[in-house]
Structure 1
Amino acid sequence: MAIPQFGQPEPGRTYGDRPAAFGIAERDGKIAAVRVKKPDHAAWLDLPGGALDPGEGPEEAVVREFAEETGLKVAVGEAYARADQFFVNTSDKAFNNRATFLVLDITGEDAELKVEDDHTLVWLPPHEAIETLRHEAHAWAVAAWLRLLRKR
């Protein structure tokens, strides 16, 4: 199966490959998301996660990123989807996120793990997440997760 590609590259820009991992953690019918607010930019919503550090696999990266962005401790279930997303970050660097999406279980909370002050944990109904997440790939991944749940 082909990996879907989202986003439109800007002509003349080179997009570096950026292996990444994002997760879906559900609590009381809502999924974890982060509201990101950077100076001089409007806030946006993302699934928690991000780039893999050197030597990390998607599983290790999503556990680390979830903790840094939300303060939530998570256990990795299955990797259920892959999708790529062209985007330009707030530092004007162009990337193609090569994302793995994983199902996660929340195992605890530890506020000391949260180190990204510009990220705030929010809980969204899945359909609202589909409508409001910044990246098309994230919205697509939430829809794929909902379909996965329905098959079980």
Structure 2
Amino acid sequence: MIPRFDLPPEPHRRYVFRPGAYAVLLRGRDILLTRQNGSDRALQLPGGGIDPGETPLRALHREVFEETGWRMAVDRRLGSFRRFAFMPEYGIHAEKLCHIFLGRPGLRIGPPVEPDHDAVWMDADEAVTRLDNAGDAYFLARFLRSGRGAVDHRH
């Protein structure tokens, strides 16, 4: 069963199904996050919606680059969760199916290309308490508790 986070769906509300792919990108004990600089300055795992005809991994690479300016490699899938949310940038209520992947930051190409996004490095334990999405925090905390949370990807 796929866990659900945040509020339950509202009865009689139409939700648009919106799958997405998101990354836990660790370097040592630090994690790469994205901060949206709109009215709520939300701190999130980088990633986003999977476009029609796009695979989850292709979407993940595209979204991470757009939101952080970093290239990445994927190690494995950590799991999925659902949430029901209003997406003001699209003007829709969405049933989001969020696929979470463990990856490695690669090369920083430049600043984020998506407007109003900043790449933020933060201690992973601190990030668990500061992520704005309960599902993101759950998967990061579960991975850190597994004993594999400190990842050294320097070659």
TM category, shorter: 0.7 to 0.9
Please state how far the C-alpha of 1:138 moved relative to its aligned partner.
Answer: 0.8
Aligned partner of 1:85 in structure 2 is 83
* CA deviation vs aligned residue, 1:74-118 (integer Å, no higher than 9, x gap): 011101111111111224421121011001112211117x31121
Instruction: Find out whether 1:56 has 2:57 as its counterpart.
Output: no
Describe the SS at the equivalent of 2:53.
Answer: coil
Aligned residue-pair number: 148
Contact 1:85 1:136 in 2 (8 A): no
Residue in structure 2 matched with residue 7 of structure 1 by the alignment: 6
Is residue 81–residue 144 contact of structure 1 (8 Å, CA) maintained in 2? no
The alpha-carbon distance between structure 1 residues 127 and 110, as it changes in their structure 2 partners (threshold 3 A), is same
CA contact (8 A) 2:27 2:104 kept: no
What residue is the counterpart of 1:133 in the other structure?
A: 131
Residue 94 of structure 1 aligns with which residue? 93
Question: In 2, Cα distance between the equivalents of 1:130 and 1:151?
Answer: 12
Structure 1 runs not aligned, ≥5 long: none
TM-score using structure 2 length: 0.86
Counterpart of 1:31, as a letter, is: I
Matches within 5 A, 1:1-152: 2-8=1-7, 9-38=9-38, 41-91=39-89, 92-111=91-110, 114-150=112-148
**What fraction of aligned residue pairs are identical, expressed as a percent?**
32
What residue ranges of structure 2 are gaps of 5+ in the alignment? Answer: 151-155
